[in-house]
Structure 1
């Protein structure tokens, strides 16, 4: 789960039908197994969204060489991210899956303010990031001891009304962090993303999440 961009870990699950993996569709529903969250108690810095969640939009990120990320944006400020790999137009294997819940956001007023988030030495890309007194260590980059690493930059096509045509796109500068919470059976993830949607449309979001297995959620 630690690096979607260097390793798409294909599993036995595959989906050769539909535009999106695992039968996902606009206005479909996602049901998340709340048991792992109940067992973890207060180990995570976020709560599992109540089920079912409606899929309000789907983002598609092309990572190259047949690898893609699909983000199912849910009704309660959360998204389910599904990594897939495979030849275009053919059967695609499902790899890493993670649930993320938005916990904070900043809206830079202009391009200059936005650039302060993504330029060398900025907080986005620092070796550690603190949220609610919890410290997360950077996953991407040459190593956690490197003081700063450039964010991963990609374009995301977002579908809100049609599975075949995007409604809009945006450029995203991202960095992934993680920590090992006591009393939990998995790491907690922090995804910091600076999004450029066009002239003077900027947002920096913080989303906490965890890896999920395909047995821990259902898409209908």
Structure 2
């Protein structure tokens, strides 16, 4: 009964929802307009993802100098990445990307992990995929393999709902 009066008179003990760019937050949803991609679907090398997503986990990476990366992991195999500089408002957004995993592998040994993230594996100038050769976009003027940039990603995920819990 006291909870009712606390809500009625504005004394709610729930913490405020931490919202990121575009108002996204844990357990929120977002929709993608895929019409332009569906019109070219025969020419795409990937299967189109769905259009409606629920945010199951969120993360934040502080790159320093006012630059940040916000990631919104969906309940599927995708995540939305929003890069900002100077703040979290719509005018501070530099880039928005949707990542959809084409394939993934379980890595159980540290030696296999180190092999997967070395410069030769991740930073090569070219990549062969889907019978096509792809050129590196970032640091394209720099010769050779690029060492990976290590970042600290702080993440939170949804808590499973239990029967009888709010």
Specify if TM > 0.5. yes
Q: Name the CA shift for 1:42/1:158 in 2 (closer, same or farther; >3 Å).
A: farther
Deviation at 1:142, TM superposition (A): 5.5
Which of the pair is proportionally richer in strand? 1
Distance 2:30 2:133 in 1: 30
Distance 2:97 2:89 in 1: 21
- Unaligned stretches of 5+ residues in structure 1: 1-16, 163-220
Cα deviation, 1:174-214, whole Å, max 9, x if unaligned, reads: xxxxxxxxxxxxxxxxxxxxxxxxxxxxxxxxxxxxxxxxx
Distance 1:129 1:101 in 2: 18
C-alpha contact (below 8 Å) 1:140/1:149 kept by paired residues: no
Counterparts of 1:133-148 in structure 2 under 5 Å? 133-141=131-139, 143=141, 146-148=143-145
- Unaligned stretches of 5+ residues in structure 2: 1-16, 160-166
C-alpha contact (below 8 Å) 2:22/2:89 kept by paired residues: no
The aligned residue for residue 93 of structure 2 is: 94
Structure number, greater radius of gyration: 2
Cα deviation, 1:73-128, whole Å, max 9, x if unaligned, reads: 112211111111225xx8571221111111111223311121122334x2211111
| Count of equivalent residues | 142
Counterparts of 1:125-164 in structure 2 under 5 Å? 125-141=123-139, 143=141, 146-161=143-158
Q: Higher relative contact order at CA 8 Å, sep ≥6: structure 1 or structure 2?
A: 1
Counterparts of 1:84-123 in structure 2 under 5 Å? 84-86=84-86, 93-120=92-119, 122-123=120-121
TM (normalized to structure 2)?
Answer: 0.74
